[in-house]
Amino acid sequence: MFYVKEELKDGVEIHIEITDENVYNTCPVCGKEIAVDLTDVFSDGDADLFATSVLCGTCSKYILRKDE
């Protein structure tokens, strides 16, 4: 089980289990918050957690159309 840990204040820590339902990303094009399933992101075995951004559906459709 992976989780994030953050010290809030006065030694109080919060631990949150990372699941396929509680990870979010901000679309780098429009800024919309979108849910991200990390298993999808890492499924090709070549993803960098710090360098990877996931586009929202609208922006990814626009970019795919632009490249055609």
Our CB check for Zn ion shows the closer of 22 and 58 to be 58
Our CB check for Zn ion shows the closer of 28 and 37 to be 28
Q: How far is CA 5 from the centre of its chain?
A: 17
Q: Footprint of Zn ion on this chain (CB under 5 A)?
A: 27, 29-30, 32, 56, 59
Our CB check for Zn ion shows the closer of 31 and 45 to be 31
φ, ψ at 4 (rounded to 5°): -100, 145
Burial of 20 (0-12, 13-18, 19+ CB in 10 A): exposed
Q: Report in angstroms how near the CB of residue 54 gets to Zn ion at its nearest.
A: 9
